[in-house]
Amino acid sequence: MKAASAVNPLAMRGAAAAAIAILITTVLSLQRPYWVIMIAVVLVNQTTGQSLRRSGERVAATLAGFAIGWGLEWITSPHHWVQIGIMMAAVFLAVFFRQSWGRGSYAWMMLFISLYVVFLFAVLGEWSPAIFAERIADTCLGAGAALLATFAVHSPGSRDRLRQEADKLWDQCRAQLAEAVAGFTCGAPPTGQPHAALLQQLEALRSHMEEALYETFLMPAARRDAVRNFAVAEMLCYLALGLFDAIACGAGSSQGSKLRVPLEESIGPVVHARRTDFELPPGVNPLLPLPACPEACRFAAEECRKAGLDGSDLIWARPLLYYAAAFSDALRKPVCEPRV
Amino acid sequence: MAGTEVLSLRDKLVESDPGLLRFRQALKSVVAVALAVAVFSRASGVITLFAGISAAFLMQCVDSGSRRRQQASMAATAGAMMIMAPIASALHGHRAAETALLVCWAAAVFYARRFLQGNGAFTLFAFTEVLLASALPGNPTGQFQTAAVGFVIAFFMRFWVWPPDEARAFCDAVRFFNRRAAHIANAANHDSADLERLHAAVVFGQNLLAEHSELQPEGVYQRLVSRQFDALQSLRMLHEARSRAAGTDESGDCAAVRDSIRDLAVCRLVEIAAELRADLQRLDRGGR
């Protein structure tokens, strides 16, 4: 069972959205008030960013679906069975694109639901362009009611979630980094494969960042901040994963102990740093911030030469020291210059 | 040198919809709607409409988890609809009562998520059904009957006719992952969209495991997902290192590091590919 604290605000927002939508339909005396109420309630989400994102997608997909449906209705208007066929095809495609098993698309689903609605009216002989205008207006009103409810009953912001989860990701990364480096320098075999857990967390962060962009579309500074927070978290995660790969590859080598000092000197301050102590300028690929990282590259090459490593040992030793130095560099200053 | 791998239409469909889970769900939903409409074909237009809506909605109303949990959640949703839709229909035209019912029902469908394993978005179908019952001129008996018949049809179609085979879907996703991964690893050049497809395959497997406890999350399925994540990361590194190799903006030391990272990614991939193949063969033999 989920915690009440996670569900109660959502339930209150749902009730608020329904109440606001009913109020709007009463004041405006709409012909189909249930459209506004339905849209208001289904657009209620956990965070402000999610609600904004869904609202935008819903309005755009409804507009596109009704426009396409209007055109198709005009072409097929004398053929009743063709219209029934299109209506059933729209049901098929709406279910096909429904988000399930980790696939699907809300926007595509809404487009086909809109197409279904057009042809439902067409089959009943009630379609008219006025319904198009009415549906679009009601969708906007419903989305407005959902957003009002989102602000009326406090919703966590996607930016806050992004920051909190980025901190959590870095805390896990640095704990694993400390353990992996200590194990490697002692000659212990690498423990586990943290890739799946870290990459899953990164996926969740990406989703929060995308929602945060909807939240901040009128606030350029906040938008830049959200993008930067994600980029730094992404870089830290990728650098850690690269370092884990190098450790996994070099774990069986007898040469590992030769890199103990430079590795510990680079990683030591990193595992005690906070996420906000790191920097990454926009434009740099967080996956492999190489091109203008000459210091980290030079450090890796020099330390390998000093340790007298060559041949197959360089496959893991150079990346190992590069990732460690890139971490260390990102602490003091932006890890790389923007790519030209 | 090779671009994006060319797949047959069927392969493309299976890759985008492993195990044809979504295809069969969509097809069965259409058949369920047709059946429900046929059952009520002699009734009034509104009742026929509700029959189709009930069947279509209930086909989607299942929670994540075991088959039993899915069946229980569909039955509970249908039960709620059978109670609430007739009440809503009886209140049609009574403005204040309708308002109170809808506001409370909106809160209830969100609160119900507390007892669900998945995200519980399907509870919104129950809200919509009750909303339409209150808004359109039907009758309580008809609402009860359409919800009941919709439930019987949806239950039969969802769980008995061509039921979803999640284990097969998982294996399909892993096979396509292996195929694409081998293509990327062996090709000197490839489309970056291939990496997106790989990513989609891994996320699909991961979600399937999260939703279906009967797939033994601690066994070979979980290990396969972890290895796919490892492979995906190595493939991204390989892709990036290869792309960099085409450029000329790097110093000698950076080029050396880049080449070592590329070799490291290949080294990891060889290791992971062998493990993936072994686990997939184990699954094919029915082992866990």
pLDDT for position B1:
39
Dig out the tokens for B266 from the structure.
Answer: 């290949």
pLDDT at A286: 77
Per-residue pLDDT, A98: 93
Give me the tens of pLDDT residue by residue for chain A, a chain 340 residues long. Answer: 888 888 999 999 999 999 999 999 999 999 999 999 999 999 999 888 999 999 999 999 999 999 999 999 999 998 999 999 999 999 999 999 998 877 889 999 999 999 999 999 999 999 999 999 999 999 999 999 999 999 999 888 889 999 999 999 999 999 999 999 888 888 777 766 678 889 889 989 999 999 999 989 889 999 999 998 999 999 999 999 999 999 988 887 888 888 889 998 889 889 999 999 988 766 677 777 765 577 888 889 899 999 888 888 899 999 999 999 888 888 866 555 543 3
Quote the pLDDT of residue A336: 54
Residue of A nearest to B96 (CA): A22
- The per-residue pLDDT string of chain B (288 residues; one tens digit each, 9 = 90 and over) reads 345 566 788 888 888 899 999 999 999 999 999 999 999 999 999 999 999 999 999 999 999 888 899 999 999 999 999 999 999 999 999 999 999 999 999 999 999 999 998 889 999 999 999 999 999 988 999 999 999 999 999 999 999 999 998 889 999 999 999 988 988 888 776 677 888 889 888 989 988 888 887 776 568 888 899 899 989 989 988 888 887 776 655 677 888 888 898 999 998 898 888 888 888 888 887 754
**Where do we find the tokens 């350029």?**
A220
Chain B residues near residue A200 by CB distance under 8 angstroms: 206, 229
Query: What are A96's two structure tokens?
Result: 């096909």
**CB contact set of B212 (below 8 Å; sequence gap of 6+):** B64, B65, B66, B166
Task: Please report the residues numbered 8 through 47 in chain B whose beta carbons come closer than 8 angstroms to any beta carbon of chain A.
Answer: 16-17, 21-23, 25-27, 29-30, 33-34, 45
- How much is the pLDDT for A338? 46
Q: What are B239's two structure tokens?
A: 């892709």
Residue B7: CA atoms inside 13 Å, Cβ hemisphere, count? Answer: 15
Place of tokens 């085409």: B246
Provide the pLDDT for residue A82: 96
- Establish, for the pair of chains A and B, how many residue pairs have beta carbons separated by less than 8 Å: 208
- How confident is the model at residue A340, as a pLDDT? 36
Cβ-Cβ contacts under 8 Å for B38 (sequence gap 6 or more): none
Q: 10 Å Cβ neighbour count for B29?
A: 26
Structure tokens at B212: 């279906």
pLDDT in tens, A24-61: 999 999 999 999 999 999 999 988 899 999 999 999 99
Q: Which of B114, B22, B106 lies closest to A43, judged by CA? A: B106
Compute φ and ψ for A114, nearest 5 degrees. -65, -40
Structure tokens at B66: 């075991």
This prediction has a pTM of: 0.89
Residue A305 in contact with partner chain B when CB distance is under 8 A: no
Q: Residue B222's pLDDT is what? A: 87
Beta bridge partners of B46: none
> Torsions phi, psi of A161, nearest 5?
-65, -40
Q: Is A100 helix (H, G, I), strand (E, B) or coil?
A: strand
Residue A21, C-beta contacts closer than 8 angstroms, at least 6 positions apart: A33, A36, A37, A39, A40, A41, A141, A142, A145
Query: What's the rounded Cα separation, in Å, for the pair B246 and B16?
Result: 31
* Closest to B64 in 3D by CA, of B210, B221, B219: B210
Alpha carbon A247 to its chain centroid, in Å, reads 29
What SS3 class is residue A103?
A: strand
Instruction: Determine the Cα–Cα distance for residues A233 and A239; give it in Å rounded to an integer.
Output: 10
Provide the pLDDT for residue A6: 84
Q: Which of B23, B136, B223, B253 to mutate to test the interface with A (most CBs of A within 10 A)?
A: B253
User: Which pLDDT score, from 0 to 100, does residue B216 have?
Assistant: 66
Neighbours of B75 (CB within 10 A): 15
β-partners of residue A100 are A103
Q: What pLDDT does A135 receive? A: 97
DSSP-derived letter for residue A311 is: T
**A118 and A23 in contact (C-beta within 8 Å)?**
no
Question: Cβ of A186 under 8 Å from any chain B Cβ?
Answer: no
Q: Can you tell me the distance from the alpha carbon of B108 to that of B102, in angstroms, rounded to the nearest whole number?
A: 10
ipTM confidence score: 0.91
pLDDT of residue A283: 66
